[in-house]
Homo-oligomer: A and B are copies of this chain.
Amino acid sequence: MKLYTAPTGNGRKPLIFLHILGVPHEVHMFDWPTKEIKQEWYLELNPHGLIPTLVDGDITLCESNAILQYIADKYDTENKFSFGSEDPLYWQAQRWLYYQATQFSNALSGLLFYKKFRPDDAGLIEKGFDQLYKVYGVLEKQLAKDGGKKWFVGDKFTVVDLAFAVGHYRRIEKTKGSKFDIPDFEKKYPNVDRWYNDVLAIDGIKEGFELK
């Protein structure tokens, strides 16, 4: 099994998951940012020229959250970090993985896009923050349920928590110290903050974030 990736928001998801699962794999780590992902040999694997890509035998797979689900189904057979497809929680995991890939990622990449290309357009930046606050509001509400849920789905740390935690880490990494960071985050989203600290305490996660 070979993973083509880099230490970015999406690239880290399968990288860290394989690390904490302890599944043998090879990593092709791109020197980020790179134009290599636009070369023909890589576009054959990933036609949009994105990371990550997983090649496992005959299967070549793109899209970080589809890769997470694939690894879970094939290699997390005891469902340590996932749910079996007969478990109703399986579908809640799918739904949150899509929410992470769509609303969460869009809100973050929208704001980072304005940071890069329209840093003085106050109206756009306000709209960007509105979206991001809305998404974090949804996460806060989910994690505040039942007096404070420890994890997003069910009662264990799963690929859903991993996907959101990697996205949250990426946001901090890309906005810290700038006007694009969220001030007083822990006061605005206390349950997200608590949950994130619990994620960082999971065996292998901090190491996973250091992989380069």
Residues of A within 8 A of B (CB): 47-48, 50, 58-59, 61-63, 65-66, 69-70, 73, 85, 88, 91-92, 94-95, 97-99, 101-103, 105-106, 109, 117-118, 123-124, 127, 134-135, 138, 141-142
Q: Is the CB of B47 within 8 A of A70?
A: no
Q: Enumerate chain B residues within 8 angstroms of A62, measured Cβ to Cβ.
A: 95, 98-99
Q: How many copies does the complex hold?
A: 2
Q: Cβ of B98 and Cβ of A138 under 8 Å apart?
A: no
Contacts A59-B88, A70-B91 given; 12 further ones with Cβ under 8 A?
Answer: A47-B141, A48-B138, A58-B88, A63-B94, A63-B102, A66-B91, A73-B85, A98-B98, A98-B101, A106-B109, A117-B124, A118-B124
Give Cα distance in the complex from A101 to B95, angstroms: 12
Task: Give the 10 A-B CB pairs with smallest separation, nearest first.
Answer: A63-B98, A66-B94, A66-B95, A47-B138, A66-B98, A63-B95, A48-B138, A62-B95, A101-B102, A70-B91
CA distance A123 to B121 in the complex (A): 13
A191 CB to nearest B CB, Å: 13
Instruction: Let me know if A106 and B106 touch, CB within 8 A.
Output: yes
| Residue from the list B106, B123, B127, B142 in contact with A47, Cβ < 8 A | B142
Q: Which of chain B's residues have a CB closer than 8 A to the CB of A85?
A: 73, 85
- Chain B residues with CB below 8 A from A69, complex form: 94
Nearest residue in B to A93 (C-beta to C-beta)?
B66
A10 to chain B, nearest CB (A): 9
